[in-house]
Every structure is written in C-alpha cells, then in structure tokens.
Structure 1
Amino acid sequence: MIICRRCKESYKPSLNNSSACRFHPSFFVCRRHDDQKRYYELGPDDPPYAAKFYDCCGAEEPEAPGCTTNFHVSYDDA
C-alpha cells in the first residue's frame, strides 16, 4: 500500500483512477469579511467577523470532504 500525499489515505496503485482521491486544491484560510483580501491566522483578539474556510470551495469545517477528485499522488512522485 502507498500513502497519498494529497488525501493521506493508503491506496493500491492498481486501483488508482481519476476519481480515487478526494481533496481540497487550496488552503484552509482565515479572511476578514470587511476587505476580503487579507489572509492571516486568527488570534484571540480577532474580531467576530473573521472567518475560516477552504479558499477553493468555501467549506467552513477543516474536516470537510474534499471538493475535487483526481488520481492519488504518492510521496515518491515528482
């Protein structure tokens, strides 16, 4: 078995196909709603209108299922 560097799941190369891996192609970000431009990590003094979400699809939960599918990619792949 091989570990996918995108989704961190183990897979068999013989079963790898274009919909085998589900992942987010972008980062889980923090963005202020007032200007929609600044990205930063939320701190204890940040205002309540700051939000965290995946930049690719808008999902607000860090554990949300990926919004994109593709082949698994191993750590050995360049």
Structure 2
Amino acid sequence: MYVILEVQPYEYSTILGIYDSLDNLKQVLIEQDIQYKQDTFYPQYRYTKTEQHEDYTSTTYYSIIKTPLNTFNQYGYDSIEYEV
C-alpha cells in the first residue's frame, strides 16, 4: 500500500491519496503531474509539482510512503478465514 503526502515543509502533511498497487500510484503521479525531481531548497523532498502563475511560480512538495497492508480485524486477530 502506498500513501502520497502533500507536505508543507516544517509544518504539516496532508494525505493526498492511498493506493493499493504501484501501478495505481504511478498513474496518479502522471495524472497529477507530480515529478521525481529533487528540490534544491528542500532536498529531502524528491517529488515536486511546479506551477507557473501570472506573477510567481509555486512548488508543492510530496512524500511517498510504502506501508504494509493490515490483515487484522478490529479485535486484533488475523482476518484470514480458515476452512475447518
């Protein structure tokens, strides 16, 4: 499972989306025009989106996190059903 976070440097992060496969993640990156390009001002962020406006240029920073799938139910037991 992959999570895209929109990052406000030194402030907070917002979840942009949660994706179950690498293919879905890649498709969203292309659709949202998020590029793998390390920023010079904040080098810890490798995914950026740059937009040209009339008077200025804005850059949005993203982090992508790979998380394990949780296979446990609300009681803490593995949710896989076994045949008896």
Higher strand share: 2
Shorter-chain TM-score category?
Answer: under 0.3
TM-score normalised by structure 1 residue count: 0.22
- RCO (CA 8 Å, sep 6+): is it higher in 1 or 2? 1
Larger helix proportion, structure 1 or 2?
2
